[in-house]
């Protein structure tokens, strides 16, 4: 079902709130990653407030979809999304990376409700997600009835089966483990696995195409028997429609290459790889928060 303009605007406001929380928590922590979380806020908003079958009041509900965060360093976006969705108080986000906090610098599965995996070493997430998708198919759990209280949709609206979503970075496409998982998923035609690649073109040492050229990512995944879609990761309607298209694929795993702006919403840090692992100061945070409300920044014209 297509989203209305009002629903799109609502999701965009959710993304703005997630970005604001990301900045607040990074300033409070004095450490952490800024560019990636800001760039993925729209996609996280789409997942937790429209796409996922999940229930914050019952985080361990067996019929839920699974969202695996492979690039765990962007966890401020995940934590902020979980908090705004009702898994824990938003105020707890300000304990990011504090001693004894449940919100560590990389997610630890048993610390917080709503976490599916512990992530840290890049390249592991797709293997974990492929294993989950394969297990679900073996267990024949596709007809589990899911609650509609969170997203107000029926089981038939949601495609009638559990799905596993894997969020991963473009930089971790340099990891061999990623391609072992790609081979496994392609061989077993895991159409209940949908991977989303954050194609923001940066990593900690520079631009991806300078550090280790990745293109053509589409051709590589197609060669591994994946169905490939490419979208503007900040166009809410386009991303949700890509997910809907992915759900209609029945013979292959799917990867959505989402072209995003690292540091989205803060013009002075957009596309600057130095902000990959750098937090804003208190003064920068005030300035960033002010600009986020105007949502500056544009994608290259070919993805607009």
For 160-183, the pLDDT digits (tens) are: 478 999 999 999 999 999 999 999
Q: How far is CA 9 from the centre of its chain?
A: 19
- Contact assessment for residue 62 and residue 55, using Cβ atoms and an 8 Å cutoff: no
Q: Where are the domains of the chain?
A: 5-303
What distance, in Å, lies between the first and last C-alpha atoms of the chain? 23
pLDDT one-digit tens code per residue, 89-109: 999 999 999 999 999 999 999
Measure the CA–CA gap between 111 and 61, rounded to whole angstroms.
Answer: 17
Question: What is the 8-class DSSP label of residue 95?
Answer: G
pLDDT one-digit tens code per residue, 109-139: 999 999 999 987 888 999 999 999 999 989 8
Give the C-alpha distances (Å, rounded to integers) separating 92 from 95, 143, 246.
6, 36, 34
pLDDT of residue 149: 40
| pLDDT score of 223 more than 90 | yes
Which CATH superfamily groups domain 5-303?
Thiamin diphosphate (ThDP)-binding fold, Pyr/PP domains (3.40.50.970)
pLDDT of residue 298: 42
- Nearby residues of 293 by Cβ (< 8 Å), 6 or more positions away: 16, 20
**Rounded to two decimals, what is the model's pTM?**
0.89
């Amino acid at each position: 079902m297509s989203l209305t303009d009002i629903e799109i605007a609502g999701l965009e406001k959710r993304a703005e709130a997630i970005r604001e929380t990301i900045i607040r928590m990074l300033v409070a922590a004095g450490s952490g990653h800024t560019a990636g979380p800001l760039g993925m806020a729209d996609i996280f908003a789409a997942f937790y407030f429209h796409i996922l079958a999940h229930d914050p009041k019952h985080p361990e509900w067996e019929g839920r979809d699974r969202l695996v965060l492979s690039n765990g360093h962007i966890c401020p976006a995940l934590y902020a999304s979980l908090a705004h969705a009702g898994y824990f108080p938003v105020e707890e986000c300000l304990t990011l990376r504090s001693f004894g906090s449940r919100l560590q610098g990389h997610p630890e599965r048993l610390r917080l409700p709503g976490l599916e995996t512990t992530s840290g070493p890049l390249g592991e997430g797709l293997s974990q997600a492929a294993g989950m998708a394969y297990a679900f198919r073996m267990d024949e759990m596709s007809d589990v009835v899911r609650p509609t209280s969170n997203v107000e949709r029926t089981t038939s609206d949601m495609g009638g089966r559990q799905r596993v979503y894997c969020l991963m970075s473009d930089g971790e496409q340099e990891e061999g483990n990623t391609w072992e998982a790609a081979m496994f998923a392609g061989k077993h035609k895991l159409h209940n696995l949908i991977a989303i690649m954050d194609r923001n073109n940066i990593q900690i040492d520079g631009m991806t195409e300078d550090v280790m050229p990745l293109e053509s990512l589409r051709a590589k995944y197609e060669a591994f028997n994946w169905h490939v879609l490419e979208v503007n990761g900040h166009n809410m309607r386009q991303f949700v429609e890509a997910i809907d298209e992915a759900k209609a694929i029945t013979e292959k795993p799917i990867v959505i290459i989402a072209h995003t702006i690292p540091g989205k919403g803060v013009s002075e840090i957009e596309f600057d790889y130095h902000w990959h692992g750098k937090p804003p100061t208190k003064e920068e945070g005030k300035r960033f928060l002010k600009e986020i409300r105007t949502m500056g920044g544009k994608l290259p014209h070919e993805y607009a």
